Structure 1
Amino acid sequence: MRDIKNREDVFTLVSSFYEAVRKHKEIGPFFNETISDWDEHLEKLTDFWESNLFHRAKYKGNPRDAHIGVDQKSGHAVDIKHFGEWLRLWFTTIDRLFTGELAERAKNNARKMSTHLYLEIYKHRPENTQKH
Structure 2
Amino acid sequence: MASLPPKFDVTRNDIARVVAAFYEMVRQHPGLGPVFAVHVEDWPGHEAKIVDFWANAILHERSYDGNPLKVHRDAGNVRPGMFEAWLALFDMTLKRELSETQAAAWSALAHRIGRSLRAGVVEKVKGPGGVPILR
- TM score, norm. by length of structure 2: 0.82
> Structure 2 CA distance, aligned partners of 1:125 and 1:79?
8
Q: Does 1:6 align with 2:7?
A: no
Structure 1 equivalent of residue 110 of structure 2: 110
Q: Does 1:24 align with 2:29?
A: yes
- Of 34, 40, 49, the match for 1:35: 40
Tell me, which stretches of 5 or more residues in structure 2 are unaligned?
A: 1-7
> Structure 2 CA distance, aligned partners of 1:15 and 1:116?
23
Structure 2 equivalent of residue 84 of structure 1: 84
2:32 partner letter: I
> Structure 1 CA distance, aligned partners of 2:73 and 2:100?
32
- Of 50, 53, 60, the match for 1:55: 60
CA contact (8 A) 1:51 1:58 kept: yes
Tell me, which stretches of 5 or more residues in structure 1 are unaligned?
A: none
1:39 partner letter: P
SS in 1 for 2:19: helix
SS in 1 for 2:39: coil
Q: Which one has more relative contact order, counting CA pairs under 8 Å at least 6 apart?
A: 1
Please state how far the C-alpha of 1:54 moved relative to its aligned partner: 1.1
Q: Percent identity over the alignment?
A: 28
Please state how far the C-alpha of 1:101 moved relative to its aligned partner: 4.2
Please state how far the C-alpha of 1:59 moved relative to its aligned partner: 0.9
- Of 25, 29, 49, the match for 1:44: 49
> Structure 2 CA distance, aligned partners of 1:55 and 1:108?
17
The change in CA–CA distance for 1:125 and 1:5 in structure 2 (over 3 A counts) is closer
- TM score, norm. by length of structure 1: 0.83
CA contact (8 A) 2:80 2:121 kept: no
How many residues get paired? Answer: 122
